[in-house]
Amino acid sequence: MGIEALAESLGQNILTTTLGKLVGWGRGNSVWPAQFGLACCAIEMIATATAGVDIARFGSEAFRASPRQSDLMIVSGRVSQKMAPILRTVYDQMPEPKWVISMGACASTGGVFNNYALLQGVDKIVPVDVYIPGCPPRPEDLLNALMILQERIKAQGITPRQ
């Protein structure tokens, strides 16, 4: 069978791509966040999952209660010195590959609270992929961050973060 005949018989049913792109496509469209609400931003994170904004359109509605089933940690709110070791433990329990969104000013930099009690930015204990400004950010901002993260995951291929 000649190559033209093969192409004709398969028609529009086959795409050729690299394995990396395929894996990235799959991973990017099914990011499962860990259910990790901390403070004010957690309420907006819940609002992102409700019908008005609907994070399910981007394949991330499955908020997992166990870190072992999740790919993404949304640090939604201020991280106190007492919470920091627990946050790191939860992060360590997540399987690779994993990503972190730092949601809101408090998680990113400490926000308005420049004091003894808070970690001045969650990036001191876990690597952060996307930062969202705002106090708290709107649900749309979280969706935007998720889309940025998806683009990045899709570009990373099979072995992100070598």
Rounded least distance, CB 144 to other proteins, Å = 16
Q: Which DSSP string do the residues of 36-62 spell out, in sequence order?
A: -B-SHHHHHHHHHHSTTT-GGGGT---
Q: In what order do the strands lie in the sheet with 72-76?
A: 33-34, 72-76, 99-103, 130-132
Rounded least distance, CB 80 to other proteins, Å = 5
| Binding map of other proteins across residues 70-109, x = CB under 8 A, - = no contact | -------xx-xxxx-xx--xx-------------------
Longest dimension (CA), the chain: 74
Q: Is 6 in the site for other proteins (CB under 8 A)?
A: no
Rounded least distance, CB 117 to other proteins, Å = 3
Torsion, CA 43, CA 45, CA 49, CA 53, rounded to 10: 100
Closest CA to 39 of 67, 68, 80, 89: 80
The two tokens of residue 140 are 């749309």
| Binding map of other proteins across residues 116-135, x = CB under 8 A, - = no contact | xxx-x--------------x
Residues 19-48 that bind other proteins (CB under 8 A): 35-40, 42-44, 46-47
Q: Is 57 in the site for other proteins (CB under 8 A)?
A: no
Rounded least distance, CB 160 to other proteins, Å = 24
Give 73's strand partners.
34, 100
Binding residues vs other proteins (CB under 8 A):
35-40, 42-44, 46-47, 49-52, 65, 67, 77-78, 80-83, 85-86, 89-90, 110, 112-118, 120, 135-136, 138
